[in-house]
Amino acid sequence: MSKRQQGNGNIVLCDDEQPIVSEMDDVQAKIRQRAFEISLNRNHAGREINDWLAAEAEVIVSPPAELAQKGDEFIVRMAASGIDANGLTIMATRNQLLVKSEFRHVHEPDAEIHSCDFRSSMVFRALRFPEPIDLKSLKSELQDGLLRISARREGGAEAVKPRPVRKIAAPAAKPRKKG
């Protein structure tokens, strides 16, 4: 596992998926604990799925994302409004990507709050690539509330480019004789 700092967050390159699996297990444990706490506050059974979904909504935010391919490059775009680039962590293996950050909301100082839908939570989103990526080519950019992560398809840059096909003009068709 190697780690590098970019202007747009920490990128952690992983040899295998264990670090990502560990992060996912930790989040699952937090959700499980919160779901259990929610279930203790109600006095009847049969709402376990609702408890889980409520706990998940309290513990994490999973922002909308897009995974696209342009030639040999995979491009991930993800909503990241309000995320501080210094607190952003991107973990990647050849096959998977995990984006993690804390979103902290602080009310307007010296203001009377009438309504607030914001909440502090963990931004947490995992994606699988359709093909392995070249980890050395991974780049990220956080700009205008949008996180853009790009990486070349493994072997894409080193692949031998096919020679241009030389077109040979086909012989002109001869008119048919009516017989």
CATH number of the domain that 66 lies in? Answer: 2.60.40.790
- Cα→Cα distances 69→34, 39, 141, Å: 37, 43, 17
Structural domain span for residue 123: 2-15+60-107+116-152
User: What residue ranges in the chain does DSSP mark as E strands?
Assistant: 2-6, 9-13, 60-61, 65-70, 73-79, 89-92, 96-103, 121-128, 139-143, 146-152
Assign 146 a pLDDT band (cuts: 50, 70, 90): very high
**How many domains does the chain divide into?**
1
Assigned domain for 179 exists: no
Task: Tell me the C-alpha distance between 10 and 100, whole Å.
Answer: 10
Assigned domain for 41 exists: no
pTM: 0.75
Is the pLDDT score of 40 beyond 50?
A: yes
**58 φ, ψ to 5°?**
-80, -35
Assigned domain for 66 exists: yes
Assigned domain for 122 exists: yes
Instruction: Give the distance from CA 19 to its chain's centroid.
Output: 16
Q: What pLDDT does residue 150 have? A: 96
DSSP structural state of residue 46: S
Assigned domain for 133 exists: yes
Assigned domain for 8 exists: yes
pLDDT tens for residues 69-110? 999 999 999 999 888 888 899 999 999 999 999 888 888 999
Assigned domain for 96 exists: yes
